[in-house]
Structure 1
């Protein structure tokens, strides 16, 4: 049986483990000649309280996401991935990735880091990666090591 993937999502948030997930996703996308969907979900749940004091937070989050994804897209294309898409979404990463993005793009593999940037949320209500593993309808790769350690 040959296992191949056509549409891959890699969730990135600027953390080291998300970078490792991106690097492994590039390799998998190249080997499978797959579309690589780079996704950053801007978590808007906390904006209401913060924006009362700082109205520029949403704009800064959008700028950060765009710069992060643009850099990753260039890196993936330089590495030889032919079809790279950039997706910025708003809402809860836990639900958007598995319930909306994966269905819309007919994803057959989701790749994410084991932990991301938000340690407080992970402690209180569980990690994004944990939720993706539980709710995804496709294969999930949770990355815990850098590319160089995996060889």
Structure 2
């Protein structure tokens, strides 16, 4: 029986947990509950990022980093939440430069990119859902 590789989403979750801007809230996979927490949600996308003439290719894994955050319509609250996503984006860019990437079973991570900056996705009375679209490029 072939050995089962660790899922890529698990590697991404472990990587994101190392971000100094992520507080001690729970990091879920494909689930965002009723409290302030984070989730990593896979996004359906073509798994091939770039195909080469020799038959090899680079692959991609797209995901949304989402969070439930305190939401009250106040500008200061919105600025703080926007600042978190900006800081996360800069952290990921710096990690790419320093070759600090998710550790994958059977694959080599190349970079983590932010495709869409963090924004308020769904406002609610007390909590708002924020999200940022990212992808992992690997071979």
Taking structure 1 as the reference length, the TM-score comes to 0.33
- More strand as a share of residues: 2
Which one scores higher on RCO, CA 8 angstroms, separation ≥ 6?
1
| Rg larger in structure | 2
- More helix as a share of residues: 1
Taking structure 2 as the reference length, the TM-score comes to 0.35
